[in-house]
């Protein structure tokens, strides 16, 4: 009987599932938008991936879950941190990777890795939505554009405006005020993207700048976010073909490899504990998932 390996990354807004064959090739990959951490969304993604691979749950040899909601994933053998799985997945997708910048719906991470994708160091901001997917949703709402239009709008901006608030709770008021003062939507969008890139560099500074750099997570699909981060970093940023599935891919690889020694600094775990945030790059106040302090 052929072996099959399952990796599940249950994030704050999306569920990602990857199925690998015995040779490590991807048999199926699914991304399901949920809106919030959801067992239902996770089940849909798992079912879709297994169906696409022509498999049932009983055909899975080994499985690993990761992500914000990994404790909610049913019928999983082990759980690992996002740090470990994104490092492993990025190194496999983009050989030679030394730094992974992962920006998801509710948190952001800078992960330094070695040749094998083993984590050497990391910094994580999971206490504030600054610079995350949620923050870009606030921007899109404030300037009244679709989230899919945001990148094109920002890349057309020319004027650099001062964005004083990087807090998702208060930024919307400031952005609306800019519009009331006659500032162009393009310039506001570009300025916010620049400010996010600067904040992200603060996270990178905690692990040390290195290259090549790979960007993962849903925000990596935003061409403007990648452009302004590369500009601030002064180096090329590589984005995998499917940046959202990198964590799930890393989890599936670890399942295939028997989850051997995979991390030094990232706190590899088989429990449901979440990694402590070393710092918040914006402020010291915790931000709830609902967005209130």
- What does the block give as tokens for 46? 């798992």
Q: What is the per-residue pLDDT for 62?
A: 95
Distance of CA 132 to CAs 27, 87, 116, 192, Å?
A: 30, 19, 27, 12
DSSP-derived letter for residue 281 is: S
pLDDT at 246: 97
| pLDDT at residue 1, rounded to an integer | 64
Half-sphere exposure of 291 (CA within 13 A, CB side): 14
Q: What pLDDT is recorded for position 34?
A: 78
Question: What are the CB-based long-range contacts (under 8 Å, 24+) for 151-156?
Answer: 151/222, 151/223, 151/224, 151/225, 152/223, 152/224, 153/185, 153/186, 153/189, 153/224, 154/186, 154/189, 154/190, 154/192, 154/193, 154/224, 154/228, 155/190, 155/223, 155/224, 155/227, 156/186, 156/190
- Per-residue pLDDT of the chain (293 residues), as tens digits, is 689 999 999 988 889 999 999 999 999 999 998 766 678 889 999 999 999 999 999 999 999 999 988 989 988 999 999 999 999 999 999 999 999 999 888 788 999 998 778 999 999 886 666 777 888 888 899 999 988 899 999 999 999 998 877 776 777 888 999 999 999 999 999 999 998 898 899 899 999 999 999 999 989 999 999 999 999 999 999 999 999 999 999 999 999 998 554 443 333 444 333 444 333 444 543 332 233 33
- Sheet of 78-79: strand order equals 26-33, 14-21, 4-10, 62-66, 78-79
CB 62 within 8 A of CB 240: no
What local confidence, expressed as pLDDT, does residue 35 receive? Answer: 65
What pLDDT score does 165 carry?
72
């Amino acid at each position: 009987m052929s072996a099959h390996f399952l990796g599940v990354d249950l994030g704050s807004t999306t569920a990602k599932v990857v199925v690998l064959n015995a040779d490590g090739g991807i048999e199926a990959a699914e991304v399901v938008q949920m809106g919030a951490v959801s067992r239902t969304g996770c089940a849909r993604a798992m079912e879709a991936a297994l169906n696409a691979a022509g498999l049932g749950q009983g055909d899975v040899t080994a499985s690993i879950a990761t992500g914000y909601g990994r404790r909610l994933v049913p019928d999983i053998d082990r759980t690992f941190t996002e740090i470990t799985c994104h490092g492993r997945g990025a190194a496999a997708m983009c050989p030679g990777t030394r730094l992974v910048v992962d920006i998801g719906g509710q948190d952001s991470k800078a992960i330094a890795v070695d040749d094998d994708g083993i984590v050497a160091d990391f910094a994580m901001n999971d206490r504030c939505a600054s610079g995350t997917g949620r923050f870009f949703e606030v921007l899109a709402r404030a300037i009244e554009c679709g989230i899919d239009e945001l990148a094109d709008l920002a890349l057309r901006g020319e004027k650099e405006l001062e964005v004083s608030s990087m807090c998702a709770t208060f930024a919307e008021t400031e952005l609306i005020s800019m519009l009331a003062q006659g500032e162009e939507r393009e310039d506001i969008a570009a300025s916010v993207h620049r400010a996010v890139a600067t904040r992200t560099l603060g996270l990178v500074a905690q692990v040390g700048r290195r290259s090549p750099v790979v960007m993962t997570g849903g925000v990596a699909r935003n061409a403007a976010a990648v452009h302004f981060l590369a500009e601030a970093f002064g180096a090329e940023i590589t984005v995998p073909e499917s940046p959202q599935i990198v964590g799930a891919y890393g989890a599936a690889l670890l399942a295939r490899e028997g989850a051997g020694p995979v991390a030094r600094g990232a706190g590899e775990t088989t429990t449901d504990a979440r990694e402590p945030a070393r710092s918040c790059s914006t402020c010291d106040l915790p931000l709830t998932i609902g967005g209130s302090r």
